[in-house]
Amino acid sequence: MPVIRDIDDLPARHGTGWSERAWAGPAVLGAAVPMEASRWVINPGAASPAVVLGAPEAMLYVAAGAGTADVSGERFALGPESVLWLAACPEVVLHGGPDGLDALIARGSGHGVAGGQALAKLFAAAELPHLVSTRDTRDRLDLITESVPVGARQIRADRIIYHPGDTAAAHFHADCHHVFCVLAGAGLLCTDQEVSRLTAGMSALVGPGEVHWFVNDTDANFSFVEFWAPPPTDTVWTVAGDRCTWAPAS
């Protein structure tokens, strides 16, 4: 059975010019998920407190707006849909730009230093692999995958948009927790057991070996960031001749 969390059920805290809402993790989802994710909203000109990372692998994705991030004395300029990789970095401080900053921060399980050295690396949206579905009209931006050269081993992530009428093929992942953080719109998460409607701000978990697929049955775009933790050892398509494949966006 999938685990679904409504935005009103997610723990939140607020400060002067900023807010944080837990989005995924063992405490939020009630399962042994080897990752955590939270959403940070920073008002224009405001700053967050120090966001403690404390994990070998972490990443920041800009869902909307722009701003900067301070990491170990270095400042990074964050634009829409940019990704900041934060391997073994102790903390990050966010600053909102003229329109504010809406960012997702995720970290893998574990503590300490990965490979003995901290690494912060920024990728603009144009530098990330941009793909389109060969099955329908879905749009995918790889955030942390084997095609993004950071050597990630604990987590994988992409941003995906389902346009009206788009659907995925039924499948499951071996040895992997699949986590979804909904950015905008609404759509259906389907499994063999039930169909659940997801809307913006919600999160969901599909466990290892659980068959699932998505449907956008609305007239607006449905988008989310999806995580695999750890990366799957195999993906199995359960309907003969039906699978999802991708091609570079033109």
pLDDT tens digit sequence for 81-128:
999 999 999 999 999 999 999 999 999 986 444 455 789 999 999 999
> 19, 26 in Cβ contact below 8 A?
no
Q: What is the pLDDT of residue 112?
A: 44
Write the CATH number of the domain with boundaries 11-127: 2.60.120.10
Residue 29 backbone class (left: φ over 0; alpha: ψ -120 to 50; beta: rest):
alpha
36-45, 59-68, 145-154: least confident range: 145-154
Q: Which residue has the higher pLDDT, 232 or 182?
A: 182
Q: Which of 227, 223, 222 is nearest to 156 (CA)?
A: 227
Of all residues in the chain, what percent are helix, strand and coil, respectively (each to 5)?
Answer: 5, 55, 40
Domain spans in the chain, listed from the N-terminal domain onward: 11-127, 130-248
Q: What is the pLDDT of residues 193-226, one digit of tens each?
A: 899 999 999 999 999 999 999 999 999 999 999 9
The architecture CATH gives domain 130-248:
Sandwich (2.60)
Gap between the Cα atoms of 106 and 48, Å rounded: 16
Q: What is the pLDDT of residue 108?
A: 92
Residues 6+ apart with CB under 8 A from 26: 32, 33, 36
Gap between the Cα atoms of 200 and 140, Å rounded: 18
Same topology between domain 11-127 and domain 130-248: yes
What percent of the chain has a predicted confidence (pLDDT) above 70?
Answer: 97
pTM for this prediction: 0.95
Gap between the Cα atoms of 44 and 17, Å rounded: 8
Q: What is the pLDDT of residue 116?
A: 57
35-44, 60-69, 228-237: least confident range: 228-237
Q: What is the pLDDT of residues 154-189, one digit of tens each?
A: 999 999 999 999 999 999 999 999 999 999 999 999
Gap between the Cα atoms of 161 and 61, Å rounded: 15
Q: What is the pLDDT of residue 110?
A: 62
Q: What is the pLDDT of residue 180?
A: 98
Q: What is the pLDDT of residue 250?
A: 81
> 84, 122 in Cβ contact below 8 A?
yes
